Amino acid sequence: MSISTPQTWEEFTEGIWRQNPVFVMVLGMCPVLAVSVSAINALSMGLATLFVLVCSCGLVSLLRHTIPREVRIAVYIVIIATFVTAVDYAIQAISLALYEALGAFIQLIVVNCIILGRAEAHAAKNPPLPAMINAAGMGVGFSIGLFALGAVREILGAGTLFGIGLFGAGFQPWVIMVLPPGGFFVLGAWLLVFAGWARRRKSGEVTQHV
């Protein structure tokens, strides 16, 4: 099971830029918008999802030869739900305040399309190590997307980052940013920015080679 290093690195970075779950594939949106009212909440959710992604894909990959095709989706869901339950209790044990802040969305990780999609598309067809590396990349990309959203919403909507005030007492927070509409607007804005970057890179590539 020896993987060449460049290939492993590409497996990992695939989920960060080219197939970023938040900005490119636009999957798993529910927790992204609900939880990203502050940078710390967003990061915690990202880490929780990363953990579930890596563990589920690892287990699915280990069992990939024995899972019957007809019931594979049900089995994947059960495996994902198992790790989500574990993460749920782990967060309660670490910090009740964080648990209250994230609320029901921890348990909603189980219906995050990214995890099921990765399990079905990748983990079921690859050995454990590449599967987990790819899953880790996706998880990191997801966390980056979440953090970008959470940071902007917190800075604009509360004037703080990680709870540390940035603008001093005279700052009038743009409260709508930490409310539901703000979530939609900020994500839409990020998608525009990302599309613009992607287009500029593509036109840059086309003029550069071939």
Scan residues 59-98 and list those touching another protein (CB under 8 A): 59, 63, 66-75, 77-79, 81-86, 88-90, 92-96
Q: Does 34 bind another protein (CB under 8 A)?
A: yes
Closest alpha carbon to 109 in 149, 144, 162, 146: 146
Query: In this structure, what are the phi and psi dihedrals at residue 165, rounded to the nearest 5 degrees?
Result: -65, 140
CB 152 within 8 A of CB 85: no
Binding region for another protein (CB under 8 A) out of 3-11, 41-49, 99-107, 125-133: 99-107
Terminal-residue alpha carbon distance, the chain: 35
C-alpha span between 199 and 159 (Å, rounded): 32
Q: Does 100 bind another protein (CB under 8 A)?
A: yes
Q: Does 104 bind another protein (CB under 8 A)?
A: yes
Residue 75 in tokens:
């089995």
Q: What minimum distance in Å lies between the beta carbon of 5 and another protein?
A: 24
For Cα atoms 67, 89, 62, give the angle at the middle one, nearest 5 degrees. Answer: 20
Total residues interacting with another protein, rule: CB under 8 A: 76
**In this complex, which beta carbon is closest to another protein, that of residue 5 or of residue 46?**
46
119: Cα separation from own chain's centroid: 15
* Member of 3, 7, 9, 103 binding another protein (CB under 8 A): 103
User: Binding to another protein (CB under 8 A): which residues in 151-170?
Assistant: 157-158
**In this complex, which beta carbon is closest to another protein, that of residue 3 or of residue 86?**
86
Q: What minimum distance in Å lies between the beta carbon of 54 and another protein?
A: 14
Binding region for another protein (CB under 8 A) out of 21-29, 45-53, 143-151, 161-169: 21-29
Closest alpha carbon to 12 in 146, 131, 126, 124: 131
User: Binding to another protein (CB under 8 A): which residues in 108-147?
Assistant: 108, 110-113, 116-118, 120-121
Q: Decide: helix, strand or coil at residue 71.
A: coil
